[in-house]
Homo-oligomer: A and B are copies of this chain.
Amino acid sequence: MSLGPSGEAIVLIGRKPTMNYVLATTLPLNEGRKVVVKARGRAISKAVDVVEVVRRRFVKDVQVENVKIGTEEGRVGSDGRPRNVSIIEIVLAPPTSATSSASSKKK
C-alpha cells in the first residue's frame, strides 16, 4: 500500500489472495481515509471482487465514488514486444466522509 497525492491510500491488486487486498483496503477506510484500488490486466476481475467483499462484509456504507477504466501503453510483453494493458481504478470513500469534491453519492 502506498499514498496518493492527496493522502489517499493506494492498493495495487496483484497475485496474492483476495482477502489480503480486502484487509489492505478496509484498514484505511476505517481510519476515515479514501482508498484507490488499482489493477491491470487479469487482476481487474480481482479488484472488483475486493471492492465487493469490502462493501458487503466489512465497510457496509463505503461509497464507490468513481470507477475509471483505461489503457496503459508501452509495457513490454514476455516476447519483448510492446503491448497495451487495460487498467481499472476504483475510488472508495469512507462512510462518514463529508469531503469537498465528492460527487454526491451517485450509484
Nearest neighbor of A40 in chain B, beta-carbon distance: B45
Q: Are A69 and B67 in contact (CB under 8 A)?
A: yes
Count class of interface residues, chain A: 20 to 34
Q: Does A51 contact B (CB under 8 A)?
A: yes
- B52, A86: Cβ atoms under 8 Å? yes
Interface readout for A47-74 with B: 1 if CB under 8 Å, 0 if not? 0110110001000000010011111000
A45 and B41 contact, Cβ closer than 8 Å, known pairs A67-B68, A69-B67, A69-B90: yes
- As for how many copies of this chain the complex holds, the number is 2
Cβ of A76 to closest chain B Cβ, rounded Å: 18
Write out the residue numbers on chain B whose beta carbons fall within 8 Å of the beta carbon of A51: 69
A-B contact pairs, 28 of them (CB 8 A): A41-B45, A42-B42, A42-B45, A43-B45, A44-B44, A44-B45, A44-B48, A45-B45, A45-B86, A48-B69, A48-B86, A48-B87, A48-B88, A49-B86, A51-B69, A52-B69, A52-B70, A52-B71, A52-B84, A52-B86, A56-B71, A56-B84, A64-B69, A67-B67, A67-B68, A67-B69, A68-B107, A69-B90
